[in-house]
Structure 1
Amino acid sequence: MSELVVRVAGIGVYGPGLTGWPVAAAVLRGEREFDGADPPRPAPGLLPAAERRRAPDTVLYASQAATEACAMAQADPAQLPCIFSSTQGDIAITDYMCATLVQTPRELSPTKFHNSVHNAAAGYWSIATGCREPATALSAWTDSVGAGLLEAAIQVADSGAPVLFAAYDVAAPGPLHSAVPFDRAFALAFVLAPPDSAPGMRLALRRAADGAARDAVDADWARALRAQNASADGLALLQALAANAPRTLHIGAGPQLTLRAEFAP
C-alpha cells in the first residue's frame, strides 16, 4: 500500500461528554474533566426540522458531527463526496423490525423500514445538503473507523479534492445487545483535503507492519467509551489532532489490516 497524505481540514464529534470539537479537544488534552452524561439528542442545523423529527439517532449523530466538520473546514457540504461508516448501522431499528415481524408483522412501519438500510445516514445527508457527489456507506465491523478513514484518504488522493468522512454508532437494545454490545451513541467526522490545498494537521497513512499493536487513548473514560461504542475507536485519532504535535499511532482498518497514521502540524 502506497503512502496516502491528506490534511484534516475539519473535525466534528458528538457523544457522551464530547459535545463538539472545542469541548472534546479540551477533554482529550486533559484541560477539562470528562462529563460522562449522555448529551441532548442532536439537532443538526443542516437537516430541515421535519427531517430531524423523523430521522433516527444514527442519522442525527452522524449529521451533527458532519455539520461541525464542514463548518470548521469552511466547506460546502453540497460539493463534498462523503463516506459514512458504521459497525452495524441502526441497530435499534433492526431490533424493532425483528420484534415486529415476530409479533405483529402487519404493523411494520414503512418509515422505520425506510430508515433501516445501512446507507440511511448518507442518504439523509445527501438529500438535506443537496449534494450530488458520490456517497459511500461501509462497514468493517469494529474496524469501521479505520476502514472509512482509509476509503476517504484514497478518494482524496484519487480526486485531488476534499472528502467528508463520518463514523457513527448507537446503542443496541434488546436481544441484539448480546451480539452488538453498544450502550452509548457516538459519532465523529473529518473533512480530509489534499495536503497542499488546506490548513490543518497533516496525516500520512500507510500499512503498518504485521503484528503492530493498535493504539487507544489511555484515560479510563476513553477505554470505557470505546468498549461501549466501536466508533469511539476514533478517540485515538482525535487525541492526536487535539495535541497538534507530531505523533504516530496505529488503528485497525480490517481483520488483517492495521494502518500506521503519522500526524504532523
Structure 2
Amino acid sequence: MRPGFQIRHWAALAPGLREAGDWQAWARHPVPPAGALEAPLAAMPAMQRRRVERVGRLALEVAYAVDGQGEAPDFARRPMVFASRHGDVLRSVGLLEALDRGEPLSPTQFGLSVHNAVAAQYGIARGSTAPYSAVAGGRCSAEAGLWEALAYLDEGHDEVLLVVFDEPPPALFARDADEPAIPFAWALRIAPAAAGGFQLQPGAGAGEIAAPEGADLPHGLAVLAYLLAPTAAWAVEADDGGWCWRHAG
C-alpha cells in the first residue's frame, strides 16, 4: 500500500483551542490545552444533535468544520474514517452502571454507545452513501485510523475524511491510564501525495529521529502537533511495533 498523503484541509478542537492560527502557534510549542471547550454543533439538525453526547459533539463539530472548507466534498463517494481510543465510553459505562442497579437498558442508548455510532450519525446527517470505518487502536488510534484512510486512497478514492477524537474515561479507569486525559478532536481531508507531503508506515525503524511528544499530551494530540509542525521523521514506539512518520517538506 502506498503510504503517502497530503492534507487538503484540517480542523481541530480542544480546551482553549479552536482557530487555525492558535493551533499552529500551539503546535510549535505544544503544552496541555486548557480553557473553555464548546462544541455547539449548530450545523447538525436539532433532532439529531440532541442524541449526541460530548465526545460525539467534539468529533462532529470538527467534521462539519473541515467539510465546510474549500470545495464541498462528494458525500456519496468520499469515504470516512472515525478513530477513537475510547469512543463514547461515558455512555457505555452508564449502561453498565444501569445493569448493576438492575435497571432496564435503553435500546436507543445502547445503539448510540457502539463504536461506529458517531460516524453513522454524521453519515446520516450528510446523506452519505459512501463507505465508512470506525477504528480503535489503543494509544496509537490516530495512526490506526490514518492507515485505514490510506487503504481507501489506495483503492482509488481521491479524498478521505479522517476524524480522530477522544475524551477522558471515567475515574474508575484512572489506575490503568497510560497517557494524560484531555478531550480533543481533529479532522483531516486527505488526498494522495503530490510532491512532498507525509508518509506513515508501520514499524518505528531503528535510527529514526524520535520527535518529542510535548509535555503531558495524549498521543492523539501529539500526532496533530507533528502534522501541523512536522520534523523530517518521527519514530513512535508501541507494543505492536510502532509507527514511522516522515515529512518530505
Q: Aligning the two structures, in what range does the TM-score lie when normalised by the shorter sequence?
A: 0.7 to 0.9
Write the distance in 2 (CA, Å) between the matches of 1:134 and 1:190.
17
Residue 45 to residue 11, structure 1, CA distance change in 2 (3 Å): same
2:217 aligned counterpart, secondary structure: helix
> Structure 1 residues 209 and 76, CA, compared in 2 at 3 Å: closer, same or farther?
closer
- Partner residue, 1:23: 22
Q: Confirm whether residue 161 of structure 1 aligns to residue 158 of structure 2.
A: yes
User: What is the correspondence of 1:119-134 to structure 2 with a 5 Å cutoff?
Assistant: 119-134=116-131
Q: Select 1:149's aligned residue among 139, 146, 151.
A: 146
Could you say which residue in structure 1 is the equivalent of 2:217?
225
Which amino acid letter does the alignment assign opposite residue 240 of structure 2? Q
CA separation of 1:59/1:34 partners in 2, compared to 1, >3 Å: closer, same or farther? closer
Is 2:8 aligned against 1:9? yes
- 1:206 aligned residue (201, 204, 219): 201
**Matched residues, number:** 246
More helix by share: 1
| Closer/same/farther in 2, CA of residues 61 and 216 from structure 1, 3 Å limit | farther
Q: Which residue of 1 aligns with 2:220?
A: 234
Partner in structure 2 of residue 57 of structure 1? 54
Conserved in 2, the CA contact under 8 Å of 1:247 and 1:263? yes
Segments of 5+ residues of structure 2 without an aligned counterpart are none
Secondary structure of residue in 2 paired with 1:72: coil
The AA in structure 1 aligned to 2:114 is V
Report how far residue 183 of structure 1 moved.
Answer: 3.7
Structure 1 runs of 4+ with >6 Å offset:
none
Q: 1:123 to 1:160 in 2, by over 3 A?
A: closer
Could you tell me how far apart the structure 2 residues matched to 1:68 and 1:214 are? 32
SS at the partner of 1:257?
coil
Are residues 86 and 158 of structure 1, via their aligned partners in 2, closer, same or farther at CA, if it must alter by over 3 Å?
same
Q: Distance in 2 between matches of 1:246 and 1:34?
A: 20
Equivalent of 1:109 in 106, 111, 116: 106
Native 8 Å contact 1:25 1:238 kept in 2: no
* Structure 1 position 127, deviation (Å): 0.4
In 2, the alpha carbon distance for the partners of 1:255 and 1:52 equals: 37
Distance (Å, rounded) in 1 between the aligned partners of 2:202 and 2:61: 30
- Of 74, 77, 90 in structure 2, the residue corresponding to residue 92 of structure 1 is 90
**RMSD of aligned residue pairs (Cα, Å):** 2.8
1:138 aligned partner: 135
1:225 is paired with a residue whose SS is coil
Does structure 2 retain, via aligned residues, the 8 Å contact 1:46–1:129?
A: no
TM-score when scaled to structure 1? 0.81
Cross-structure match for 2:44: 47
Letter in 2 for 1:204: Q
**Residue 56 of structure 2 aligns to which amino acid in structure 1?**
V
Tell me which moved more, 70-79 or 93-102: 70-79
Displacement of 1:49: 1.9
**Identical positions, percent:** 24
Amino acid at match of 1:239: A
1:58–1:169 Cα contact (<8 Å) kept: yes
Post-superposition Cα deviations, 1:43-68, rounded to whole Å, max 9, x if no partner, equal: 23442122222211222111112222
SS at match of 2:242: strand
Asked whether the equivalents of residues 140 and 220 of structure 2 are also in contact (C-alpha less than 8 Å), the reply is no
